[in-house]
């Protein structure tokens, strides 16, 4: 099912995934208009898309996801919304009111704008972290959408993303102002990597400061399955095509899907090494501390930061929940997305790795210079 002639909105259009999705839509679909929504839109983004824009109109909307009137304006006349914008915070460094306002209230306001402005399809970008891992560190290996798991979450990020996901799915089949029905679905990507991934860049910077030695924060057996950004963008396109297809709309609508690809299952730390070893980086053989002692240190840091919070907000670089996430086997299959959405990873593991390493290699001199200058 083609999206030819449709008008779509992409929130978070300047982000890591948002930019990739916009380019894919321009390359694959002859859409009437793509509306780029973000807090700030860099002029260079529009310039970078000129080579594939074709006849599609690109419109820029700068504003706050918490502004209901603004959201109604960007949804007016649109048929599809890709809601990618959110605050990603794995250290709990952002105030709860801020992250809740953007991730939950922003999503609710956007859903309401879709209903008022007769938008028929809504795709929400969730995360595997709405599933866990839980505080006990219970593993999941090659799980799926039917996997039963005690998802007791501590991070404000994962809790707000889960609530936003729930609100999205509950809005499926809501009656629009014109009498039609809204169809929604959510995608739960694994850890997303690729060109532009700020987490990979951050790990590379840490390793440069550590004499080109990557820190080991994950046990080798704590395997996860990261997913390439180009494949996540493809899953979003397939979700939109499915929601537009009258035969698939009721199958896909109101459902969530895990999005992974054929990236080998490996620990987070070993994945960093796979990407950066061709650039001359090595990795520590063992954790800096035994895992149990690591938890004790994190607990003491959390207590200290909590005691200081009335006077100053300090966020420890590592906490117990993040340590649990880094050291819990947690992987999921994409077979349901393949069956229902027709999702097939566009990029092989070899291609994804090659593109990512080339990007990291292009960033390495800048990172070395930046760190030397400090």
Buried b (16+ CB within 10 A) or exposed e, 127-164: bbbbbbbbeebbbbeebebeeeeeeebbbbbbbbbbbb
3-state secondary structure of 233: helix
HEC profile of 276-300: HHHHCCEECCCCCCCHHHHHHHHHH
Residue closest to 44 by CA, chosen among 9, 13, 87: 13
The answer to whether 39 is a known catalytic residue is no
CATH of the domain at 128: 3.40.50.720
For the beta carbon of residue 25, count every other beta carbon within 10 angstroms: 24
Is residue 275 in a domain?
no
User: What pLDDT, on the 0 to 100 scale, is given for residue 151?
Assistant: 85
Contact between 13 and 40 under an 8 Å Cβ cutoff? The reply is no
User: What pLDDT, on the 0 to 100 scale, is given for residue 262?
Assistant: 97
Is residue 254 in a domain?
yes
Rounded CA separation 129/158 (Å): 5
Per-residue confidence in pLDDT tens, the chain, 374 aa = 789 899 999 999 999 999 999 999 999 998 999 999 999 888 888 778 878 778 899 999 999 999 999 999 999 999 999 999 999 988 778 889 999 999 999 999 999 999 999 999 999 999 999 999 998 899 999 999 999 998 887 789 999 999 999 999 999 999 999 999 999 999 999 999 999 999 999 999 999 999 999 999 999 999 999 999 999 999 999 999 999 999 899 999 999 999 999 999 999 999 999 999 999 999 999 998 899 999 999 999 888 888 888 888 888 888 888 999 999 999 999 999 999 999 999 999 999 999 999 999 999 999 999 998 87
Q: Could you write out the DSSP letters of every residue in 115-143?
A: HHTT--EEEEE--GGGT---TT---EEEE
Is residue 256 in a domain?
yes
For the beta carbon of residue 339, count every other beta carbon within 10 angstroms: 11
- Name the domain count of the chain: 1
Is residue 272 in a domain?
no
Catalytic site residue from 159, 161, 244, 248: 161
Is residue 236 in a domain?
yes
Is residue 206 in a domain?
no
Is residue 322 in a domain?
no
Rounded CA separation 270/289 (Å): 17
Is residue 2 in a domain?
no
> What is the widest separation between alpha-carbon atoms in the chain?
63
Contact between 254 and 173 under an 8 Å Cβ cutoff? The reply is yes
Angle (deg, nearest 10), helices 16-28 and 229-244: 60
The rounded Cα 223 to chain-centroid distance in angstroms is 19
Domain of residue 176 covers 7-197+225-265+330-355
Token representation of residue 64:
């706050």
Counting other chains too, the contacts that 48-51 makes at CB distance below 8 Å and 24 or more residues apart are 49/22, 49/23
């Amino acid at each position: 099912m083609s999206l030819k002639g449709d008008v779509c909105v992409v929130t978070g259009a300047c982000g890591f995934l948002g930019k990739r999705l916009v380019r894919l839509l321009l390359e694959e679909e002859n859409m009437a208009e793509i509306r780029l929504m973000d807090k700030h839109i860099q002029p260079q983004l529009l310039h970078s898309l000129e080579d594939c824009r074709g006849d599609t109109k690109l419109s820029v909307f700068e504003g706050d996801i918490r502004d209901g009137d603004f959201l109604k304006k960007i949804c007016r006349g649109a048929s599809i919304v890709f809601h990618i914008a959110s605050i990603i915070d794995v250290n709990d460094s952002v105030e709860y009111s801020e992250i809740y306002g953007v991730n939950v209230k922003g999503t609710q306001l956007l859903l309401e704008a879709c209903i008022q402005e007769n938008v028929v399809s809504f795709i929400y970008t969730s995360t595997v972290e709405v599933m866990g891992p839980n505080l006990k560190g219970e593993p999941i290996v090659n799980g799926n959408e039917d996997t039963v798991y005690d998802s007791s979450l501590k991070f404000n990020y994962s809790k707000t993303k889960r609530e936003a996901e729930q609100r999205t799915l509950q809005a499926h089949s809501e009656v629009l102002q014109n009498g039609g029905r809204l169809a929604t679905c959510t995608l739960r990507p694994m850890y997303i990597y690729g060109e532009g991934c700020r987490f990979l860049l951050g790990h590379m910077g840490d390793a440069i400061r550590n004499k080109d030695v990557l820190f080991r924060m994950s046990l080798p057996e704590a395997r996860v399955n990261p997913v390439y950004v180009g494949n996540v963008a493809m899953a979003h396109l397939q979700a939109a095509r499915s929601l537009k297809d009258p035969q698939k709309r009721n199958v896909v609508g109101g459902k969530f899907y895990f999005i992974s690809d054929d990236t080998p299952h490996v620990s987070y730390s070993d994945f960093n090494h796979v990407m950066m070893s061709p650039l001359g980086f090595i990795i520590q053989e063992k954790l800096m501390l035994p895992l149990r002692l690591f938890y004790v240190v994190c607990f003491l840091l959390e207590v200290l930061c909590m005691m200081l919070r009335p006077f100053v907000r300090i966020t420890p670089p590592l906490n117990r929940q993040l340590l649990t996430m880094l050291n819990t086997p947690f992987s999921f299959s994409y077979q349901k997305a393949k069956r229902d959405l027709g999702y097939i990873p566009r990029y092989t593991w070899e291609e994804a790795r090659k593109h990512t390493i080339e990007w990291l290699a292009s960033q390495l001199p800048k990172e070395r210079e930046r760190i030397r200058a400090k």
